[in-house]
Amino acid sequence: MSQFEAPSAPLGAEARLEFSDGRAVDLEADGETGEFPIVRVEAESRTRIQVRYFGAGGVWPSEVSVHVEDGGRLGNGEAVQVCRLEGEQMGFEFVASDQAGHHRLTLRRGVDRKVLDLWVEKEREP
């Protein structure tokens, strides 16, 4: 995009997180910040994440890069993965670390940015 083109309207996004224990949660990204609500996950757990974009008028890239920011790894064992959209949807897996705290994932589709924040809270020893 050149500096003289008007910016595109932000993309909307929904995410479905499916946990290894069979639970699932549906989230919607904030329209202004692009951030999803924080979700608690178990240490060292595997989560399947499906993301659907909407409001994608105009020309948007057909790939989304997923970046691990604060801990854990993607299902491919790496900290970065490029996912190809099928329609306006894509999916990937995330494996939380054994460390307590935020495990943020940044999803970039062109200039659009979404952030998933998974919180790991270690159980206290009795």
* Total number of domains constituting the chain: 1
pLDDT at 6 > cutoff 60: no
Please check whether residue 39 lies inside any domain of the structure.
yes
* Confidence at 93, pLDDT banded by 50, 70, 90: very high
Q: What is the pLDDT of residue 49?
A: 98
Mean pLDDT rounded to a whole number for the chain: 89
Q: Is 6 within the bounds of a domain?
A: no
125 exposed, middle or buried (CB, 10 Å; 0-12, 13-18, 19+)? exposed
What confidence score (pLDDT) does residue 57 get?
A: 63
94 inside domain: yes
Provide the domain limits for residue 28: 12-120
The rounded distance, in Å, linking the Cα atoms of 88 and 101 is 31
pLDDT, tens digit (0-9, with 9 covering 90-100), for 43-84 = 999 999 999 999 766 678 889 999 999 899 999 999 999 999
**Does 4 map to a domain?**
no
CB 31 within 8 A of CB 10: yes
**Domain with 104 in it: what CATH number?**
2.60.40.10
2 lies in a domain? no
Residue 78 covered by a domain: yes
